[in-house]
Structure 1
Protein backbone atom coordinates (compact mmCIF):
# COMPACT_ATOMS: atom_id res chain seq x y z
CA UNK A 1 0.00 0.00 0.00
CA UNK A 2 1.27 3.49 -0.87
CA UNK A 3 1.78 5.30 2.46
CA UNK A 4 1.53 8.69 0.75
CA UNK A 5 -1.87 7.79 -0.72
CA UNK A 6 -3.09 6.60 2.68
CA UNK A 7 -1.88 9.77 4.42
CA UNK A 8 -3.49 11.88 1.71
CA UNK A 9 -6.81 10.11 2.12
CA UNK A 10 -6.67 10.61 5.89
CA UNK A 11 -5.96 14.33 5.47
CA UNK A 12 -8.84 14.62 3.02
CA UNK A 13 -11.19 12.82 5.41
CA UNK A 14 -10.13 15.07 8.29
CA UNK A 15 -10.63 18.22 6.22
CA UNK A 16 -14.02 17.04 4.97
CA UNK A 17 -14.99 16.33 8.57
CA UNK A 18 -13.95 19.84 9.60
CA UNK A 19 -15.93 21.37 6.73
CA UNK A 20 -19.02 19.29 7.50
CA UNK A 21 -18.89 20.16 11.20
CA UNK A 22 -18.65 23.86 10.39
CA UNK A 23 -21.43 23.63 7.81
CA UNK A 24 -23.71 21.69 10.16
CA UNK A 25 -23.39 24.38 12.85
CA UNK A 26 -24.00 27.23 10.41
CA UNK A 27 -26.92 25.57 8.62
CA UNK A 28 -28.46 24.89 12.06
CA UNK A 29 -27.98 28.49 13.16
CA UNK A 30 -28.77 30.33 9.91
CA UNK A 31 -30.65 27.92 7.65
CA UNK A 32 -29.78 27.13 4.06
CA UNK A 33 -30.51 30.60 2.70
CA UNK A 34 -28.66 32.38 5.51
CA UNK A 35 -25.48 30.33 5.18
CA UNK A 36 -22.79 31.20 2.66
CA UNK A 37 -19.89 29.13 1.39
CA UNK A 38 -17.58 31.93 2.53
CA UNK A 39 -18.95 31.72 6.08
CA UNK A 40 -18.48 27.95 6.17
CA UNK A 41 -14.91 28.30 4.91
CA UNK A 42 -14.15 30.91 7.56
CA UNK A 43 -15.65 28.73 10.32
CA UNK A 44 -13.63 25.74 9.04
CA UNK A 45 -10.43 27.80 8.92
CA UNK A 46 -9.77 27.30 5.20
CA UNK A 47 -10.04 29.38 2.05
CA UNK A 48 -13.27 29.52 0.10
CA UNK A 49 -11.43 28.16 -2.94
CA UNK A 50 -10.19 25.20 -0.96
CA UNK A 51 -13.69 24.44 0.30
CA UNK A 52 -15.08 24.62 -3.24
CA UNK A 53 -12.55 22.00 -4.30
CA UNK A 54 -14.27 19.53 -1.93
CA UNK A 55 -17.83 20.83 -2.24
CA UNK A 56 -18.36 22.77 -5.50
CA UNK A 57 -21.85 24.03 -4.58
CA UNK A 58 -23.67 25.08 -1.42
CA UNK A 59 -26.55 22.79 -2.33
CA UNK A 60 -24.18 19.83 -2.60
CA UNK A 61 -22.64 20.67 0.78
CA UNK A 62 -26.10 20.99 2.35
CA UNK A 63 -27.20 17.61 0.99
CA UNK A 64 -23.98 16.00 2.25
CA UNK A 65 -24.64 17.43 5.73
CA UNK A 66 -28.17 16.04 5.69
CA UNK A 67 -26.90 12.69 4.39
CA UNK A 68 -24.52 12.50 7.34
CA UNK A 69 -27.30 13.46 9.76
CA UNK A 70 -29.70 10.88 8.38
CA UNK A 71 -27.06 8.13 8.25
CA UNK A 72 -26.31 8.66 11.94
CA UNK A 73 -29.95 8.98 12.95
CA UNK A 74 -31.11 5.86 11.09
CA UNK A 75 -28.17 3.82 12.39
CA UNK A 76 -29.31 4.58 15.94
CA UNK A 77 -32.95 3.81 15.18
CA UNK A 78 -32.63 0.07 14.50
CA UNK A 79 -34.10 -0.88 17.89
CA UNK A 80 -37.59 -1.81 16.68
CA UNK A 81 -36.30 -4.26 14.10
CA UNK A 82 -36.57 -7.30 16.40
CA UNK A 83 -40.28 -7.98 16.80
CA UNK A 84 -39.49 -10.99 18.99
CA UNK A 85 -37.86 -8.95 21.74
CA UNK A 86 -39.68 -7.70 24.82
CA UNK A 87 -41.71 -4.61 23.75
CA UNK A 88 -40.98 -2.59 26.89
CA UNK A 89 -37.24 -3.13 26.56
CA UNK A 90 -37.27 -2.32 22.86
CA UNK A 91 -39.25 0.87 23.36
CA UNK A 92 -37.04 2.06 26.21
CA UNK A 93 -33.96 1.39 24.06
CA UNK A 94 -35.56 3.37 21.22
CA UNK A 95 -36.23 6.34 23.52
CA UNK A 96 -32.69 6.15 24.88
CA UNK A 97 -31.17 6.10 21.38
CA UNK A 98 -33.24 9.08 20.23
CA UNK A 99 -32.32 11.12 23.30
CA UNK A 100 -28.67 10.16 22.93
CA UNK A 101 -28.74 11.52 19.37
CA UNK A 102 -30.32 14.76 20.62
CA UNK A 103 -27.63 15.09 23.27
CA UNK A 104 -24.63 14.12 21.15
CA UNK A 105 -25.70 15.71 17.84
CA UNK A 106 -27.89 18.74 18.68
CA UNK A 107 -26.75 20.81 15.68
CA UNK A 108 -27.36 17.91 13.31
CA UNK A 109 -30.85 17.44 14.74
CA UNK A 110 -31.60 21.15 14.27
CA UNK A 111 -30.42 21.15 10.64
CA UNK A 112 -32.80 18.29 9.89
CA UNK A 113 -35.62 19.98 11.83
CA UNK A 114 -35.16 23.25 9.96
CA UNK A 115 -35.24 21.45 6.61
CA UNK A 116 -38.49 19.69 7.54
CA UNK A 117 -40.08 22.83 9.03
CA UNK A 118 -39.24 24.62 5.79
CA UNK A 119 -41.22 22.01 3.83
CA UNK A 120 -38.32 19.66 3.01
CA UNK A 121 -37.74 21.60 -0.21
CA UNK A 122 -34.23 20.28 -0.74
CA UNK A 123 -34.37 16.88 0.95
CA UNK A 124 -37.93 15.63 0.60
CA UNK A 125 -37.12 12.83 -1.84
CA UNK A 126 -34.42 11.42 0.40
CA UNK A 127 -36.76 11.50 3.40
CA UNK A 128 -39.43 9.67 1.42
CA UNK A 129 -36.90 7.11 0.22
CA UNK A 130 -35.18 6.44 3.55
CA UNK A 131 -37.31 7.54 6.51
CA UNK A 132 -40.71 6.38 5.26
CA UNK A 133 -39.63 2.73 4.78
CA UNK A 134 -38.16 2.74 8.30
CA UNK A 135 -41.40 4.12 9.71
CA UNK A 136 -43.42 1.46 7.91
CA UNK A 137 -41.12 -1.27 9.17
CA UNK A 138 -41.52 -0.06 12.74
CA UNK A 139 -45.30 0.12 12.35
CA UNK A 140 -45.25 -3.51 11.20
CA UNK A 141 -43.43 -4.42 14.41
CA UNK A 142 -46.15 -2.72 16.45
CA UNK A 143 -48.82 -4.53 14.42
CA UNK A 144 -47.21 -7.91 15.14
CA UNK A 145 -47.01 -7.10 18.83
CA UNK A 146 -50.69 -6.11 18.82
CA UNK A 147 -51.71 -9.23 16.91
CA UNK A 148 -49.86 -11.36 19.47
CA UNK A 149 -51.51 -9.53 22.36
CA UNK A 150 -48.16 -8.27 23.62
CA UNK A 151 -49.19 -4.61 23.59
CA UNK A 152 -52.49 -2.74 23.59
CA UNK A 153 -54.12 -1.54 20.39
CA UNK A 154 -52.63 1.84 19.56
CA UNK A 155 -52.21 4.04 16.50
CA UNK A 156 -48.59 3.09 15.86
CA UNK A 157 -47.95 5.90 13.39
CA UNK A 158 -48.96 8.63 15.81
CA UNK A 159 -47.18 6.93 18.68
CA UNK A 160 -43.95 7.11 16.69
CA UNK A 161 -44.67 10.73 15.77
CA UNK A 162 -45.06 11.48 19.48
CA UNK A 163 -41.82 9.66 20.28
CA UNK A 164 -39.95 11.68 17.67
CA UNK A 165 -41.40 14.95 18.97
CA UNK A 166 -40.67 14.20 22.62
CA UNK A 167 -37.09 13.10 22.09
CA UNK A 168 -36.00 15.50 19.34
CA UNK A 169 -37.29 18.50 21.28
CA UNK A 170 -34.33 18.06 23.64
CA UNK A 171 -32.11 19.18 20.76
CA UNK A 172 -34.38 21.37 18.66
CA UNK A 173 -35.89 23.31 21.57
CA UNK A 174 -33.03 23.08 24.05
CA UNK A 175 -32.78 26.88 24.19
CA UNK A 176 -36.36 27.13 25.46
CA UNK A 177 -35.80 24.34 27.97
CA UNK A 178 -32.68 25.95 29.41
CA UNK A 179 -34.51 29.27 29.79
CA UNK A 180 -37.30 27.55 31.71
CA UNK A 181 -34.82 25.60 33.84
CA UNK A 182 -32.65 28.66 34.43
CA UNK A 183 -29.40 26.97 33.40
CA UNK A 184 -26.92 27.50 30.55
CA UNK A 185 -27.37 24.04 29.05
CA UNK A 186 -29.10 20.72 29.53
CA UNK A 187 -27.14 18.29 31.68
CA UNK A 188 -26.75 14.54 31.78
CA UNK A 189 -29.24 14.46 34.65
CA UNK A 190 -31.82 16.24 32.47
CA UNK A 191 -31.45 13.62 29.75
CA UNK A 192 -31.62 10.79 32.27
CA UNK A 193 -34.82 12.25 33.74
CA UNK A 194 -36.27 12.64 30.24
CA UNK A 195 -35.34 9.08 29.30
CA UNK A 196 -37.00 7.68 32.40
CA UNK A 197 -40.18 9.76 32.07
CA UNK A 198 -40.67 9.29 28.32
CA UNK A 199 -39.90 5.58 28.59
CA UNK A 200 -42.44 5.17 31.40
CA UNK A 201 -45.09 7.10 29.47
CA UNK A 202 -44.64 5.06 26.30
CA UNK A 203 -44.57 1.69 28.06
CA UNK A 204 -47.71 2.56 29.99
CA UNK A 205 -49.43 3.76 26.81
CA UNK A 206 -48.94 0.41 25.08
CA UNK A 207 -49.26 -1.90 28.07
CA UNK A 208 -51.63 -4.74 27.20
CA UNK A 209 -54.78 -4.97 29.30
CA UNK A 210 -54.36 -7.48 32.08
Structure 2
Protein backbone atom coordinates (compact mmCIF):
# COMPACT_ATOMS: atom_id res chain seq x y z
CA UNK A 1 0.00 0.00 0.00
CA UNK A 2 1.58 3.26 -1.05
CA UNK A 3 1.56 6.48 0.89
CA UNK A 4 -0.99 7.99 -1.50
CA UNK A 5 -3.62 5.42 -0.51
CA UNK A 6 -2.94 5.98 3.17
CA UNK A 7 -3.34 9.70 2.66
CA UNK A 8 -6.83 9.05 1.28
CA UNK A 9 -7.76 7.24 4.50
CA UNK A 10 -6.39 10.09 6.55
CA UNK A 11 -8.43 12.64 4.60
CA UNK A 12 -11.53 10.85 5.94
CA UNK A 13 -10.14 10.98 9.50
CA UNK A 14 -9.21 7.30 9.56
CA UNK A 15 -6.05 6.98 11.64
CA UNK A 16 -5.94 3.24 12.41
CA UNK A 17 -5.64 0.36 9.94
CA UNK A 18 -6.38 -3.26 10.87
CA UNK A 19 -4.09 -5.63 8.95
CA UNK A 20 -4.33 -9.44 8.99
CA UNK A 21 -1.30 -11.75 8.81
CA UNK A 22 -3.53 -14.57 7.50
CA UNK A 23 -5.73 -14.04 4.44
CA UNK A 24 -5.49 -17.65 3.29
CA UNK A 25 -8.93 -19.02 4.23
CA UNK A 26 -11.22 -20.78 1.75
CA UNK A 27 -14.36 -18.70 2.33
CA UNK A 28 -13.96 -16.58 -0.78
CA UNK A 29 -12.64 -13.33 0.67
CA UNK A 30 -11.47 -10.90 -2.02
CA UNK A 31 -7.85 -11.66 -3.02
CA UNK A 32 -7.53 -14.52 -0.51
CA UNK A 33 -5.23 -17.35 -1.55
CA UNK A 34 -2.96 -20.02 -0.03
CA UNK A 35 -0.05 -17.62 -0.53
CA UNK A 36 -1.75 -14.77 1.34
CA UNK A 37 -0.23 -15.46 4.73
CA UNK A 38 2.75 -14.19 6.68
CA UNK A 39 3.72 -17.69 7.76
CA UNK A 40 5.29 -20.83 6.38
CA UNK A 41 4.03 -24.08 7.88
CA UNK A 42 7.08 -24.33 10.15
CA UNK A 43 6.62 -20.82 11.53
CA UNK A 44 9.14 -19.03 9.34
CA UNK A 45 8.05 -15.65 8.01
CA UNK A 46 7.58 -14.97 4.31
CA UNK A 47 10.10 -12.29 3.47
CA UNK A 48 8.05 -10.62 0.75
CA UNK A 49 5.03 -10.13 2.99
CA UNK A 50 7.21 -8.99 5.89
CA UNK A 51 8.84 -6.38 3.66
CA UNK A 52 5.41 -5.14 2.54
CA UNK A 53 4.20 -4.88 6.14
CA UNK A 54 7.26 -2.89 7.17
CA UNK A 55 6.69 -0.54 4.23
CA UNK A 56 3.07 0.01 5.30
CA UNK A 57 4.18 0.69 8.87
CA UNK A 58 6.79 3.20 7.73
CA UNK A 59 4.34 5.07 5.50
CA UNK A 60 1.66 5.00 8.18
CA UNK A 61 4.03 6.38 10.79
CA UNK A 62 4.96 9.24 8.47
CA UNK A 63 1.28 10.17 8.33
CA UNK A 64 0.63 9.76 12.05
CA UNK A 65 -1.34 6.53 11.60
CA UNK A 66 -1.33 3.30 13.63
CA UNK A 67 -1.67 -0.35 12.54
CA UNK A 68 -3.45 -3.04 14.57
CA UNK A 69 -1.87 -6.28 13.36
CA UNK A 70 -3.99 -9.46 13.61
CA UNK A 71 -1.61 -12.39 14.03
CA UNK A 72 -4.04 -15.27 13.42
CA UNK A 73 -7.62 -15.61 12.10
CA UNK A 74 -10.39 -18.00 13.06
CA UNK A 75 -11.39 -18.22 9.39
CA UNK A 76 -8.09 -19.93 8.56
CA UNK A 77 -8.25 -22.06 11.71
CA UNK A 78 -11.72 -23.38 10.87
CA UNK A 79 -10.54 -24.23 7.36
CA UNK A 80 -7.79 -26.39 8.89
CA UNK A 81 -5.02 -23.91 8.10
CA UNK A 82 -3.15 -23.96 11.40
CA UNK A 83 0.36 -23.70 12.79
CA UNK A 84 1.23 -26.23 15.47
CA UNK A 85 2.24 -24.80 18.87
CA UNK A 86 5.97 -24.89 18.16
CA UNK A 87 5.55 -23.22 14.76
CA UNK A 88 3.15 -20.57 16.08
CA UNK A 89 5.53 -19.73 18.93
CA UNK A 90 8.34 -19.34 16.43
CA UNK A 91 6.21 -17.15 14.17
CA UNK A 92 5.08 -14.85 16.98
CA UNK A 93 8.56 -14.58 18.46
CA UNK A 94 10.22 -13.81 15.11
CA UNK A 95 7.56 -11.33 13.99
CA UNK A 96 7.71 -9.50 17.32
CA UNK A 97 11.48 -9.15 17.04
CA UNK A 98 11.35 -8.01 13.41
CA UNK A 99 8.85 -5.26 14.21
CA UNK A 100 10.50 -3.82 17.33
CA UNK A 101 11.59 -0.63 15.48
CA UNK A 102 7.99 0.14 14.48
CA UNK A 103 6.21 1.76 17.43
CA UNK A 104 3.02 2.75 15.59
CA UNK A 105 1.86 -0.85 15.89
CA UNK A 106 -0.23 -2.98 18.23
CA UNK A 107 -0.72 -6.75 18.17
CA UNK A 108 -4.13 -8.44 18.16
CA UNK A 109 -3.58 -12.16 18.78
CA UNK A 110 -6.66 -13.45 16.93
CA UNK A 111 -9.62 -12.37 14.87
CA UNK A 112 -12.64 -13.82 16.68
CA UNK A 113 -10.87 -16.70 18.42
CA UNK A 114 -8.95 -17.55 21.60
CA UNK A 115 -6.44 -20.35 21.13
CA UNK A 116 -3.25 -20.13 23.23
CA UNK A 117 -3.79 -16.41 23.58
CA UNK A 118 -2.01 -16.01 26.91
CA UNK A 119 0.94 -18.00 25.55
CA UNK A 120 1.20 -15.54 22.68
CA UNK A 121 0.97 -12.57 25.04
CA UNK A 122 3.81 -14.03 27.10
CA UNK A 123 5.94 -14.58 23.98
CA UNK A 124 5.36 -11.05 22.69
CA UNK A 125 6.22 -9.43 26.01
CA UNK A 126 9.33 -11.56 26.45
CA UNK A 127 10.68 -10.08 23.21
CA UNK A 128 9.14 -6.58 23.27
CA UNK A 129 7.81 -5.73 26.76
CA UNK A 130 6.42 -2.36 25.67
CA UNK A 131 4.35 -3.64 22.75
CA UNK A 132 0.60 -3.13 23.24
CA UNK A 133 -1.31 -6.42 22.96
CA UNK A 134 -5.01 -7.24 22.66
CA UNK A 135 -7.33 -9.90 21.24
CA UNK A 136 -10.68 -10.24 19.49
CA UNK A 137 -11.91 -13.15 21.61
CA UNK A 138 -14.86 -14.46 19.61
CA UNK A 139 -17.90 -13.77 17.48
CA UNK A 140 -20.23 -10.80 17.87
CA UNK A 141 -21.38 -10.22 21.43
CA UNK A 142 -18.67 -12.32 23.09
CA UNK A 143 -16.80 -9.90 25.34
CA UNK A 144 -13.99 -12.18 26.51
CA UNK A 145 -13.22 -13.78 29.86
CA UNK A 146 -11.52 -12.21 32.90
CA UNK A 147 -8.28 -14.21 32.67
CA UNK A 148 -7.63 -12.87 29.18
CA UNK A 149 -9.12 -9.39 29.49
CA UNK A 150 -7.00 -8.65 32.54
CA UNK A 151 -3.85 -9.60 30.60
CA UNK A 152 -4.33 -7.14 27.73
CA UNK A 153 -3.33 -3.51 27.40
CA UNK A 154 -6.67 -2.68 25.79
CA UNK A 155 -9.75 -4.66 24.73
CA UNK A 156 -11.11 -5.20 21.21
CA UNK A 157 -14.36 -7.19 21.30
CA UNK A 158 -16.71 -7.58 18.37
CA UNK A 159 -19.91 -6.18 19.84
CA UNK A 160 -23.39 -7.55 19.18
CA UNK A 161 -24.76 -7.27 15.66
CA UNK A 162 -28.25 -6.79 14.27
CA UNK A 163 -29.52 -10.20 15.36
CA UNK A 164 -29.36 -9.02 18.97
CA UNK A 165 -31.47 -5.92 18.36
CA UNK A 166 -30.72 -2.21 18.16
CA UNK A 167 -26.94 -2.29 17.84
CA UNK A 168 -26.61 1.46 18.33
CA UNK A 169 -27.98 0.98 21.85
CA UNK A 170 -26.57 -2.45 22.73
CA UNK A 171 -22.95 -1.96 21.63
CA UNK A 172 -22.35 1.20 23.69
CA UNK A 173 -23.73 -0.63 26.73
CA UNK A 174 -21.30 -3.52 26.13
CA UNK A 175 -18.38 -1.12 25.76
CA UNK A 176 -19.40 0.79 28.90
CA UNK A 177 -19.53 -2.48 30.87
CA UNK A 178 -16.00 -3.43 29.81
CA UNK A 179 -14.65 0.03 30.57
CA UNK A 180 -16.10 -0.06 34.08
CA UNK A 181 -15.04 -3.62 34.89
CA UNK A 182 -11.51 -3.74 33.46
CA UNK A 183 -10.41 -0.09 33.75
CA UNK A 184 -8.56 -0.01 30.42
CA UNK A 185 -9.26 1.34 26.93
CA UNK A 186 -11.90 -0.52 24.90
CA UNK A 187 -12.23 -0.50 21.11
CA UNK A 188 -15.44 -1.56 19.34
CA UNK A 189 -13.77 -3.73 16.70
CA UNK A 190 -15.79 -4.10 13.46
CA UNK A 191 -18.78 -2.06 14.72
CA UNK A 192 -22.28 -2.83 13.34
CA UNK A 193 -21.00 -4.81 10.32
CA UNK A 194 -23.42 -3.48 7.72
CA UNK A 195 -21.67 -5.38 4.95
CA UNK A 196 -22.99 -8.31 2.92
CA UNK A 197 -24.86 -11.09 4.71
CA UNK A 198 -22.40 -13.57 3.19
CA UNK A 199 -19.64 -12.32 5.47
CA UNK A 200 -21.26 -11.29 8.73
CA UNK A 201 -23.65 -8.55 7.70
CA UNK A 202 -27.39 -8.63 8.40
CA UNK A 203 -29.87 -10.38 6.11
CA UNK A 204 -32.32 -7.48 6.20
CA UNK A 205 -31.85 -4.02 4.71
CA UNK A 206 -29.94 -1.56 6.87
CA UNK A 207 -29.24 2.14 6.99
CA UNK A 208 -25.82 3.78 7.28
CA UNK A 209 -27.32 5.76 10.14
CA UNK A 210 -27.35 2.53 12.20
CA UNK A 211 -23.59 2.45 11.88
CA UNK A 212 -23.13 6.16 12.53
CA UNK A 213 -25.31 6.07 15.65
CA UNK A 214 -23.40 3.08 17.03
CA UNK A 215 -20.07 4.84 16.55
CA UNK A 216 -21.42 8.00 18.19
CA UNK A 217 -22.81 6.01 21.11
CA UNK A 218 -19.49 4.25 21.68
CA UNK A 219 -17.69 7.59 21.69
CA UNK A 220 -20.16 8.97 24.21
CA UNK A 221 -19.37 6.23 26.76
CA UNK A 222 -15.61 6.68 26.32
CA UNK A 223 -14.81 3.88 23.87
CA UNK A 224 -13.09 3.85 20.50
CA UNK A 225 -13.92 2.24 17.15
CA UNK A 226 -11.98 0.68 14.28
What TM-score, normalized by structure 2, do the two folds share?
A: 0.29
What TM-score, normalized by structure 1, do the two folds share?
A: 0.30
Which of 1 and 2 has higher RCO (CA within 8 Å, sep 6+)? 1
More strand by share: 2
The structure that has the greater radius of gyration is 1
More helix by share: 1
